[in-house]
């Protein structure tokens, strides 16, 4: 049976990416060595690494102001690493609290300076993106979570502010073109929309570094990884390789404009069914609906287990909502084909005809 993988992360990647990656595990480009056993200082890995970085630059349109790094520790480590590097002891950073991941970022940054939560949708169960807030004039940056993976909301427009944006883009990086000029730092765990778990993409504007006086541990200093080109210690060779193969796929399939067009079309098909179907309803503010993580519920929640079971029997796996919110969540990242979204919609329609 063909499976349709709606898991939130680690998550779907294109089949051709699995195949190419698998070939590299067996024999990397005819070298006779597996990508799992080459040195991170070998010519082969240096090429992989250079290609991964140049694909990130090309796809996002980054110029030389930005450094591209592949680090470890997940997006969760960036919650403190970003503040450690960019928030002065006596400084303030503005944070937009739009979901659980934002709240975690707030907590970690608060260890290093003053955190001003300029707006929060927590009271509303994070069902919308807060809007219409002002940020303190002298803040070092504004931190936003571009897509709230758990709740299914997304910033469709980045705020117009005079300070650099720091963005956790873990679950929607490369889902659309962005205006990179607005950003001082972008970070994303690879396992949602970039590749397998094990590396974190960090894009940092170099002129923002070196402005805090605190003693930053060597491994947590972005400058270390810039100076040593992400090879101060052993980088996550395999996740970087698989990510590079996936970025190549993205480029070959038209880059971010084309991905955005496909992503919007997939999301529309699913949201249209959620709105049409008499048994289901959406949970987030319509204008903030995510095109990556689509959340919805059954009006009669007692039927939820039956729907999950029916979906699984039809090959639609991973649609259970996050354990903290329940309901359903269909993650429809870049690699998700429209046909898989249509397969889920067919299950929603079948459920309506048997239970409606």
Ligand X SMILES: *Cc1c(COP(=O)(O)O)cnc(C)c1O
Closest contact distance (angstroms) between CB of 174 and ligand X is 14
Q: Pick the closest to residue 349 from 314, 318, 320, 321 (CA basis).
A: 314
Q: Give the shortest CB-277-to-ligand X separation in angstroms.
A: 27
Closest separation in Å from C-beta 324 to ligand X: 13
Runs of H (alpha helix) within 87-153: 100-109
Angle, to 10 degrees, between the axis of helix 15-26 and the axis of helix 237-252? 140
User: Is 192 or 266 the residue whose CB approaches ligand X more closely?
Assistant: 192
SS3 content of the chain, % helix, strand, coil (to 5): 40, 20, 40
- Which residues bind to ligand X, rule: CB under 6 A? 9, 74-76, 101, 145, 149, 168, 170-171, 189, 192
How far is the C-alpha of 245 from the C-alpha of 18, rounded, in Å?
Answer: 9
* Burial tier of 17 (Cβ tally within 10 Å: 0-12, 13-18, 19+): buried
Query: Which residue, 247 or 298, has its beta carbon nearer to ligand X?
Result: 247
- Both tokens assigned to 157: 């427009």
| CB-nearer residue toward ligand X: 113 or 196 | 196
Q: Which is nearer to ligand X, 95 or 351 (CB)?
A: 95
What residues are labeled active site? Answer: 101, 168, 192
For residues 296 and 294, give the distance between their C-alpha atoms in angstroms, rounded to a whole number.
Answer: 7
Cβ nearer to ligand X, comparing 66 with 101 = 101
Is the bond preceding residue 10 a cis peptide, omega within 30 degrees?
Answer: yes
CA dist., res. 188 & res. 172, Å (int): 8
User: Least distance from C-beta 262 to ligand X, angstroms?
Assistant: 20
Minimum CB separation from ligand X for residue 105, in Å?
8
């Amino acid at each position: 049976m063909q499976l349709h993988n709606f898991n939130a992360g680690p998550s779907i990647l294109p089949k051709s990416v699995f195949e190419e990656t698998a070939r590299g595990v067996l024999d990397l480009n005819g070298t006779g060595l597996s990508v799992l056993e080459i040195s991170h200082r070998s010519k082969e890995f240096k090429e992989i690494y250079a290609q991964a970085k140049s694909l990130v630059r090309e796809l996002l349109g980054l110029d030389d102001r930005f450094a591209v790094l592949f680090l470890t520790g997940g997006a969760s480590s960036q919650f403190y690493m970003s503040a450690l590097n960019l928030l002065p002891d006596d400084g303030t950073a503005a944070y937009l609290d739009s979901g659980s991941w934002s709240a975690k970022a707030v907590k970690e940054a608060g260890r290093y300076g003053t955190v001003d939560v300029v707006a929060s949708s927590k009271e509303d169960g994070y069902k919308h993106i807060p809007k219409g807030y002002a940020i303190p004039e002298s803040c070092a940056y504004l931190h936003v979570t571009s897509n709230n993976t758990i709740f299914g909301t997304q910033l469709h427009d980045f705020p117009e502010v005079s300070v650099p944006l720091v963005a956790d883009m873990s679950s929607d990086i490369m889902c659309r073109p962005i205006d990179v000029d607005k950003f001082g730092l972008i970070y994303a765990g690879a396992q949602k929309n970039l590749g397998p778990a094990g590396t974190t993409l960090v894009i940092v504007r170099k002129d923002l570094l070196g402005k805090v006086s605190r003693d930053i541990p060597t491994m947590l200093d972005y400058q270390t990884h810039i100076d040593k080109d992400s090879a101060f210690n052993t980088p996550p060779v395999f996740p970087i390789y698989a990510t590079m193969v996936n970025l190549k796929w993205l480029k070959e399939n038209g880059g971010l404009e084309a991905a955005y067009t496909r992503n919007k079309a997939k999301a529309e098909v699913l949201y249209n069914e959620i709105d049409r179907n008499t048994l289901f309803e959406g949970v987030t503010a319509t204008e903030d609906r995510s095109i990556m993580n689509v959340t919805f519920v059954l009006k009669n929640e007692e039927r939820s287990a039956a729907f999950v079971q029916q979906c699984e029997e039809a090959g639609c796996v991973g649609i259970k909502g996050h354990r903290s919110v329940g309901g359903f969540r269909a993650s429809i990242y870049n690699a998700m084909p429209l046909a898989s979204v249509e397969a889920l919609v067919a299950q929603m329609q079948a459920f309506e005809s048997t239970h409606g």
